[in-house]
Structure 1
Amino acid sequence: MPAHNAITPDKLARLIALPGSPRIIDLRDAPTEAIPGSQAPACKDPIHWRQDPSSSVVVVDGDGRGPAVSAAAILRSDGIPAETLEGGFAAWASAGLPTVSFAHLPARHEDGRTWWVTRSRPKVDRIACPWLIRRFVDPAARFLFVAPAEVLTVATQQLAEPFDLADDRVFWSHRGDLCTFDLMVEAFGLGAHAPLVRLAAIVRGADTDRLDLVPEAAGLLAISLGLSRTHSDDHAQVEAGMAVYDALYRWCRDAQGEKHDWSSHQPARGSAHKGVSA
């Protein structure tokens, strides 16, 4: 059993990258890789953390016996449900659970967030990439949407990372048959996470007009175009699209084997109430 007020790596792994996931706060110094969706606070003193009291917290340090213990205790004294990760990041890594690489992470702004800029009126890649970043890389990331001709100018002026732009100066873009989402999955060290690999094929098929890649690509394209016509505001469209990719990710993770038709959820024969014929 885990220690009191601690969560095991396996249990936390089932909660990451989902809506309503606990806030994961990493107290290690200058990590090069981290648990997906975790945040490194600018100040390691928990009394300065801006925290929603209704949101639970998991505090991570190197081995689960360092500053995470006292930080979680301080949060609990303020009525915030807080746990430590049993065994810390070392236990997570030794269990072979997914990690995010920071090798290509843009520099953070003074607000502690990474800033990104891309073309306005997003369809597929420009919704899928913000979803990936917010769920796996930087939950607080800021996204700017501007006219295509203004992307690089705004990137320079605001020190925002450009993405999904057909320009050789932009790192985050299509590469051959791969779309920007594919590149982000690989560059952030998530290429071994099977659900994201499955999701990447769906995104690639929808974004590059290769609907033969996987059956789900056509459905994603239809939903993406519908969202684009439903929302005139790009940020509202991103928020609506988050639910779409949350659902697709969860399907890729553990629902592919489930079938649904008229009879798939009917009670098993013999379970009907006595006296009523089946």
Structure 2
Amino acid sequence: MPSFLEISPDKLNRLIGTPNTPVIVDVRTEEDFARDRRLLPGSIRRRHKDVADWCCQIAGPAVVVCQAGRKLSHGVAAYLRHAGIDAEVLEGGFEAWIRFSGAAVPEEKLPARDAQDRTVWVTRSRPKIDRIACPWLIRRFVDPSALFLFVPAADVSLVGERFGATPFDIEEVFWSHRGELCTFDVMIEEFGLASEPLSRLAAIVRGADTARPDLAPEVAGLVAASLGLSRMFNDDLEQLDAGMLLYDAFYRWCRDATGETHNWPNQKKGQ
């Protein structure tokens, strides 16, 4: 039973992937991190000794993670609360998260970060399905501060080289379609994010992105909404912002509401 200063792995898992995810700060020592170089989805690595230097960069409620949920995380969380930041400790730390079978992102799969500590990605302009779904996945499960550059298709590779951006959803790059899988599928697999809700969402995205309406009944709805958004916005970043809400809704349906139905009442009052 966690104390009022702690959050359980189960409760944190319910928050991850939603707009209400707290800032997750991994303060494991280098020795502990070397034993398992994976991270909770969306978390950032910080040195506990430098908390006075970086605490002002934490913008919202935080969850602090150390190896076992003891002195390092409680000390850092107490320091953050002193700085006016709502902070909790992950009960049992990283070890408890792994026992809980929580998703863990391999550090080696994460692109290098820029001077503002953001991963930077580049893809073709005028996104519709995969190129909105992938940024949603990255911001909700990998790097909440990720930066996305939308450029002409012919310039994606050169922009990636010149600006240190990771290309995705174009031919002959790591983060792209593989066989029948779309880029969204590949990212879920490579980032270690497989779960029942994301697998269900991936089938919908794959069906919409590869013209396979047979994969899920919801495919046609995602295609219609995606094409509608592409007509509503000329600015790709504005379309991405709107698409974030769309995929938030689809994800919560996949996670929490697939069994719910809705029927217009067809009985007269009193019958």
Report the TM-score when normalising by structure 2.
0.92
Aligned to 2:231: 229
- Structure 1 pair 42–257 and aligned structure 2 pair: CA distance change class (3 A): same
Residues 42 and 112, structure 1, Cα contact 8 Å, conserved in 2 = no
3-state secondary structure, aligned to 2:253: helix
3-state secondary structure, aligned to 2:41: coil
Q: What pairs up with 1:101-140 in 2 under 5 angstroms? A: 101-140=106-145
Gaps of 5+ in 2: none
2-structure distance, mates of 1:171, 1:197: 20
Superimposed CA distance per residue, residues 123-162 of structure 1 (whole angstroms, 9 cap, x where no aligned partner): 0000000000111111111111100000000010011100
Tell me by how many angstroms 1:110 deviates. Answer: 2.4
Superimposed CA distance per residue, residues 48-88 of structure 1 (whole angstroms, 9 cap, x where no aligned partner): 23123xx2111111110132111111111122211001110
State yes or no: 1:65 paired with 2:70. yes
- Structure 1 pair 223–148 and aligned structure 2 pair: CA distance change class (3 A): same
Code of the residue aligned with 1:32 in structure 2: it is: R
Residues 27 and 44, structure 1, Cα contact 8 Å, conserved in 2 = no
3-state secondary structure, aligned to 1:37: coil
Aligned to 2:189: 186
1-structure distance, mates of 2:225, 2:107: 32
- Structure 1 pair 69–80 and aligned structure 2 pair: CA distance change class (3 A): same
The structure 2 residue matched to 1:217, chosen from 219, 234, 241, is 219
Residues 103 and 188, structure 1, Cα contact 8 Å, conserved in 2 = no
Aligned to 2:209: 207
The number of equivalent residue pairs is 263
2-structure distance, mates of 1:236, 1:42: 35
2-structure distance, mates of 1:237, 1:44: 41
2-structure distance, mates of 1:146, 1:100: 28
Aligned to 1:269: none
Tell me by how many angstroms 1:261 deviates. Answer: 1.4
- Structure 1 pair 111–42 and aligned structure 2 pair: CA distance change class (3 A): farther
- Structure 1 pair 42–143 and aligned structure 2 pair: CA distance change class (3 A): farther
Superimposed CA distance per residue, residues 180-207 of structure 1 (whole angstroms, 9 cap, x where no aligned partner): 001101111123x111111100000000
Which structure is higher in helix share? 2
2-structure distance, mates of 1:183, 1:74: 39
Aligned to 2:198: 196
State yes or no: 1:145 paired with 2:150. yes
- Structure 1 pair 194–259 and aligned structure 2 pair: CA distance change class (3 A): same
Superimposed CA distance per residue, residues 152-180 of structure 1 (whole angstroms, 9 cap, x where no aligned partner): 000100111000002x2x11111111110
2-structure distance, mates of 1:118, 1:249: 23
Aligned to 1:244: 246
Tell me by how many angstroms 1:26 deviates. Answer: 1.0
Q: What pairs up with 1:149-188 in 2 under 5 angstroms? A: 149-166=154-171, 168=172, 170-188=173-191
Tell me by how many angstroms 1:43 deviates. Answer: 7.7
2-structure distance, mates of 1:220, 1:158: 32
State yes or no: 1:51 paired with 2:58. yes
CA RMSD of aligned residues (A): 1.8
3-state secondary structure, aligned to 1:132: helix
User: What is the aligned-residue identity percentage?
Assistant: 56
3-state secondary structure, aligned to 2:25: strand
2-structure distance, mates of 1:230, 1:41: 40
Gaps of 5+ in 1: 267-275
Report the TM-score when normalising by structure 1.
0.90
2-structure distance, mates of 1:42, 1:146: 36
Superimposed CA distance per residue, residues 227-255 of structure 1 (whole angstroms, 9 cap, x where no aligned partner): 11111111111111001111111111111
State yes or no: 1:76 paired with 2:81. yes
Tell me by how many angstroms 1:108 deviates. Answer: 1.7
1-structure distance, mates of 2:90, 2:47: 20
Residues 27 and 68, structure 1, Cα contact 8 Å, conserved in 2 = yes
- Structure 1 pair 42–125 and aligned structure 2 pair: CA distance change class (3 A): farther
The structure 2 residue matched to 1:93, chosen from 84, 94, 98, is 98
1-structure distance, mates of 2:16, 2:191: 16
